Amino acid sequence: MTSIWAVARHMIAEAIRMKIALFFICLLALLIFGLPFVARGDGTVSGAVQAFMTYALTAVSFLLALLTLFMSRSLSDELVNRQILILMAKPLPRWQFMFGKWLGIVVFDVVLLVIAGAGICGMVRYIAASEPARDELDRQKLDGEVLTARHRVEAEVPGDMFKRVAETEFERRREEGLYADITDLNPDRVKEDLRRQVEADWRSIVPLTYRVLQFDNVLCDRRADRTIQIRYKAVATRSPPDEIIRSRWVIGDPEKVAPVVVLRRDVHDRFHTFSVRADAVAEDRTLTIRLDNVNPYADDPAYPREPPNTVYSLPVIRLDEKAGVEVLFAVGTFEGNVVRVLALILFKLMFLAALGLLATSVFSFPVACMVSLTVYVLAGARGFIAEALLYLGDEGAVQVFQIVFGLVLRVVLFVIPDFPRYDAVDVLVDGRNVTLLWVLQGFGRLAVIQTGVLLLLACLLFHRREVSEVSI
């Protein structure tokens, strides 16, 4: 351990005195402390904070990734400048040398991340305090939807019910002889079609009807002075003429709590969030929401041009699969959330440090740099690669090429980590909680398994390598 730490200390000393590291650190400082005066967002204080956080954290992640890859040049330099000859003549096992290098890079990254994180948190608080809010809603949005860590609970979709109804319908139709003349009937396929149809019906709320949504495990603070948030996307099957969707929300199960009624007029195809008292959640931590597709303003003299409550004048409200209704409530602090986001960034850096050392233990620095950067870009575009694989044809004259290309893509997908999966910046900016489970998954997969494999490979290759170049 003494030797590993000695090498790590040396790596940190080298990193501090590297001009390229100094350049990156200056660039980081410039971004963190300069961005607030450039990134103004949508003109609101919450928008300014969100824009700053998005740019600053993305820049920190990107710049530190590049710096980490460049720091692996240290090993390449030691090989080229032959300091390695003296080092390997000492009682220093090669694996300890490699691990020490990696540890040094990671510790340096941790220090920079901590400084960057503190700077970002400080600047966020500075913007929040110094920027004038556009209105009270703006201030509320900043405190309740941005500078917080909210847990999200999605509505329970009654999948079993869809299946049951589909099977019942299938049996009814078969008994009525609807499938009698179909010789190659595939019951499973028909049932699946029926199930989808039932689900689509459930997700569509036709005018003058309602849908009841059930939420379980709403583990929020239920005190009356606390709030929970309802977030949903106002979508209709066809766009209303005035682009407004009207609705009435009854929040809370009347048999368990005193429900809260909320009347809404929301712009079509946008996300909307509103708050209600937290005591709408029942003691058993369930929350029932009834969404009425009616126009509560139809008879309101304050809104003279509102469409009447008829089947023909109101649109069909649709509950999207991915953007349905969700309940949000605070479970942590903004700063805690930042720490978890930085931890996820650190796991990527740990992987990149091992990748850089592996590459430089095999190739010269320019080649190693290209290899590392390619892997970094591929890891960032892993989702795109996976999607491209779906559209890869297997017909025509270039079939062989496509098969080979497909095979290469599959290997890439297997080897390259999924960086976007551990990108939590959007979640942080949205004021949602970056869960500890997510962080632990990132630690296990990225920092332990994938990084460990790369380090092991680097140690093996370096162990077999003759560290002295040809010299006669």
Other C-beta atoms closer than 10 Å to the C-beta of 255 total: 8
Report if residue 17 touches other proteins, rule: CB under 8 A. Answer: yes
Nearer to other proteins, 2 or 183 (CB): 2
How far is 25 from 349, CA to CA, in rounded Å?
A: 16
Tokens standing for 119? 């700077």
- For residue 369, give the 3-state DSSP assignment: helix
Nearer to other proteins, 258 or 470 (CB): 470
Per-residue interface string for the shown chain with other proteins, residues 442-471, x marking contact by CB under 8 A: ---------------------x--xxx-xx
DSSP count for the chain of H helices, then E strands: 16, 10
Nearer to other proteins, 75 or 84 (CB): 84
CA angle 89–452–114, rounded 5-degree value: 95
Number of residues located near other proteins, criterion CB under 8 A: 30
Q: Which stretch binds other proteins (CB under 8 A): 11-19, 215-223, 383-391, 402-410?
A: 11-19
Cβ of residue 8: shortest distance to other proteins, in angstroms?
Answer: 11
How far is 149 from 410, CA to CA, in rounded Å?
A: 37
Report if residue 183 touches other proteins, rule: CB under 8 A. Answer: no
Q: What are phi and psi of 301, to 5 degrees?
A: -65, -20
Tokens standing for 416? 């390259």
Q: Which of 40, 66, 82, 282 binds other proteins (CB under 8 A)?
A: 82
Tokens standing for 69? 């890859």
Cβ of residue 470: shortest distance to other proteins, in angstroms?
Answer: 5
Report if residue 364 touches other proteins, rule: CB under 8 A. Answer: no
From start to end of 197-307, where are the E strands? 204-205, 210-215, 227-233, 244-251, 260-267, 271-277, 287-292
CA 117 to chain centre: 18
Cβ of residue 63: shortest distance to other proteins, in angstroms?
Answer: 22
Q: Which of 14, 109, 306, 326 binds other proteins (CB under 8 A)?
A: 14
Cβ of residue 362: shortest distance to other proteins, in angstroms?
Answer: 15
Report if residue 87 touches other proteins, rule: CB under 8 A. Answer: yes
Provide Rg for the chain, Cα atoms. 29
CA distance readout (Å), 68 to 101, 175, 358, 373: 11, 68, 13, 11
Report if residue 13 touches other proteins, rule: CB under 8 A. Answer: yes
Q: Which of 93, 159, 187, 366 binds other proteins (CB under 8 A)?
A: 93
Cβ of residue 397: shortest distance to other proteins, in angstroms?
Answer: 36
Report if residue 91 touches other proteins, rule: CB under 8 A. Answer: yes
How far is 53 from 36, CA to CA, in rounded Å?
A: 9
Q: Which of 89, 129, 224, 258 binds other proteins (CB under 8 A)?
A: 89
Report if residue 239 touches other proteins, rule: CB under 8 A. Answer: no
Q: Which of 59, 66, 92, 115 binds other proteins (CB under 8 A)?
A: 92
Contacts of 245 (CB under 8 A, 6+ apart): 234, 235, 236, 264, 265, 266, 267, 268, 315, 317
Nearer to other proteins, 82 or 226 (CB): 82
CA 399 to chain centre: 36
Report if residue 23 touches other proteins, rule: CB under 8 A. Answer: no
Strand partners, 213: 289
Nearer to other proteins, 1 or 302 (CB): 1
Report if residue 102 touches other proteins, rule: CB under 8 A. Answer: no
In the complex, which residues of this chain contact other proteins (CB under 8 A)? 2-3, 6, 9-10, 13-14, 17, 81-95, 463, 466-468, 470-472
